[in-house]
Amino acid sequence: MPPPASLVDERGRVVCERCTRARTLAARTRGLLGRRGLEPGEGLLLPRTSSVHTFFMAFRIDVVFLDRRLRVKSVAHDVAPFRFAARLGRGSVLELAAGEARRVGIAPGSVLSWSEARS
């Protein structure tokens, strides 16, 4: 996976300091499996998906559903292991440690962007 970059909201607040984009099928399939958790400020962006599962995960996560322009459609807070979360419509999903979405102020309607150029 490429090195992490920061995601910011429309007001310039950093909402995910170290966000990694899962670009390959292998990276998307693996997701957060095998990890013990996410640190505050750390996240994983899964492009081109509208659903995630937490089967076989060892920790809870916040799931941020984004449209194609990285506008927040909705947030599923504190999703426990062995659950499924989905929303209608094509977009991406940002996975954060449980409680991070509230801590950094991510809410429906927020527009996120990369703080540096991404290829």
pLDDT digits (tens, 9 = 90+) for 39-60: 999 999 999 999 999 999 999 9
Q: Is 1 helix (H, G, I), strand (E, B) or coil?
A: coil
Q: Is the pLDDT of residue 116 over 70?
A: no
Whole-angstrom distance, CA of residue 118 vs CA of residue 38: 22
Whole-angstrom distance, CA of residue 42 vs CA of residue 32: 12
- Contacts of 34 by beta carbon, 8 Å cutoff, 6+ apart: none
Q: What is the CATH number of domain 5-113?
A: 2.60.120.1140
Task: Show me where the domains of the chain are located.
Answer: 5-113
* Mean pLDDT estimate for the chain: 91
User: Between 28 and 18, whose confidence is greater?
Assistant: 18
Please list the alpha-helical segments (H only) found in 13-118: 25-30, 100-104
**pTM for the model:** 0.90
The predicted structure's pLDDT at residue 1: 59
Element (H or E) spanning 5, and its range? strand 5-8
